Amino acid sequence: MSTARIAALQRLLPPLDVDALLVTDLVNIAYLCGFTGSNAALVVPVEGEAVLVTDARYTERAKAEAPDLEIVLERAAGAAAARTAAERGARRLGFEAEHVTVAAHGALIAAAGAAGLCRTTGLVEQLRAVKDDAEIAALRTACEIADAALSDLLAAGGLTEGRTEREIARDLEDRIRGLGSPGPSFDTIVAAGPHSAVPHHAPTDTPLRRGDLVVVDFGALERGYHSDTTRTFVVGPAAPWQRDLHALVAESQQRGREAVAPGADVTAVDAAARDWIRGAGHGDDFPHGLGHGVGLQIHEQPWIVAKGTGELAECMVVTVEPGVYLSGRGGVRIEDTLVVRGGEPEALTRLPRELIEV
């Protein structure tokens, strides 16, 4: 797998007029060669074998996780990678501009010697956006674990009046771990009452009260891959305005899901959902993008937003998550993780999408 991914990256390099690329982002390194240590750099030449640089703490892990690569042991991994590439004849080195600090850039210049540096952006991320079968299998399992955890929480009466947002978040995360996941894919959001109108609310000791809308946004990890799901509940019988708001978002989400297809422009997918909400007079109450890619990071390419660029491709994995947030009253968000397929997308998250009274 690592050989194929590195080869795919090498095919992107010739138009950049570089002799090698210095990969210093740890997520990109894990994607390319499987190494998961906390200190590393990868030298990827236009032709030939890649070299993994790490330090002596990770000697055995490097041998186990990246057995096909030459390994160089040095604490200052980025600088050592630049020096290694230059010593092997590279005269122009690409580097990941969005992942290199000003200080690290200076170290690369010093280590590269006579070799020049060339900024690159998003090369590995471009490859990561389209998932292979093993990645989709990991994401599918992560979503299944998350679905089961929330289903178990509901069955146990975990969303009840009097429980706090923080208690519910911890309970859900414990259930995720109990089902075999290393843990949640991000800090779980439980937002009740007026807090549900805050898209990225951090759980507090606020108790759930009768009549509250409750937004739960959560996910599970599996082999380093993230799931992402949001559902909205109401404590006790729903008021008419709450049902209407949920129905509005549910229809928007369905329209967004139906727009997800190979070749679809990301702005058109966003518009398919956003226009429905805007037409109902709530355009200003939907302040975030419709969705994003998920994989080794919870937010990654592609970005399904109103001012985005690019098209969806077969086997991208994306979220569709419209929301409407009424300040001081409450909000609704519904989110699923989908695989882009010909025909209709494959839903990896399969929890019921209707408004559930708890």
Domains of the chain (ranges, CATH numbers): 2-127 (3.40.350.10), 133-357 (3.90.230.10)
Q: Over the chain, what is the mean pLDDT? A: 97
Beta partners for residue 316, in sequence order: 130
Inter-residue contact 342 to 142 (CB < 8 Å): no
Q: Is pLDDT of 218 > 90?
A: yes
- Phi, psi (rounded to 5 degrees) for 187: -65, 120
Inter-residue contact 32 to 42 (CB < 8 Å): yes
Q: Is pLDDT of 19 > 90?
A: yes
Q: Could you write out the three-class secondary structure of 53-65?
A: EECHHHHHHHHHH
DSSP state of 14: G
- 6-to-3, 55, 113, 132, 304 alpha-carbon distances in Å: 5, 21, 25, 14, 27
Cis preceding-peptide flag for 322 (omega within 30 of 0): no
3-state class of 324 per DSSP?
Answer: strand
Inter-residue contact 273 to 290 (CB < 8 Å): yes
In tens, the pLDDT along 228-276 reads 999 999 999 999 999 999 999 999 999 999 999 999 999 999 999 999 9
Beta partners for residue 189, in sequence order: 217
- Residues in CB range of 53: below 8 A, 6 or more apart: 40, 41, 42, 43, 71, 72, 73, 74, 77, 78, 80, 81, 84
Q: Is pLDDT of 353 > 60?
A: yes
Please tell me the distance from the alpha carbon of residue 195 to that of residue 214, in angstroms, as a whole number: 8
Inter-residue contact 237 to 325 (CB < 8 Å): no
Please tell me the predicted confidence (pLDDT) of residue 196: 98
Inter-residue contact 60 to 36 (CB < 8 Å): no
Inter-residue contact 230 to 321 (CB < 8 Å): yes
Answering whether pTM is above 0.75, one says: yes
Cis preceding-peptide flag for 302 (omega within 30 of 0): yes
Please tell me the predicted confidence (pLDDT) of residue 3: 86
Q: Is pLDDT of 2 > 90?
A: no
Helix, strand and coil content of the chain, in percent to the nearest 5, comes to 40, 25, 35
Please tell me the distance from the alpha carbon of residue 344 to that of residue 274, in angstroms, as a whole number: 20
Angle between helix axes 102-112 and 77-87 (nearest 10 degrees) is 30
In tens, the pLDDT along 170-212 reads 999 999 999 999 999 999 999 999 999 999 999 999 999 999 9
Please tell me the predicted confidence (pLDDT) of residue 57: 97
In tens, the pLDDT along 94-149 reads 999 999 999 999 999 999 999 999 999 999 999 999 999 999 999 999 999 999 99
Please tell me the distance from the alpha carbon of residue 77 to that of residue 269, in angstroms, as a whole number: 41
Task: Please report where in the chains the tokens 């939907």 appear, as a residue.
Answer: 286
pLDDT band, very low/low/confident/very high, at 225 (cuts 50, 70, 90):
very high
Mean pLDDT in residue range 292-315: 98
Please tell me the predicted confidence (pLDDT) of residue 201: 98
pLDDT band, very low/low/confident/very high, at 1 (cuts 50, 70, 90):
low
Q: Is pLDDT of 294 > 90?
A: yes
Closest CA to 13 of 51, 47, 50: 47
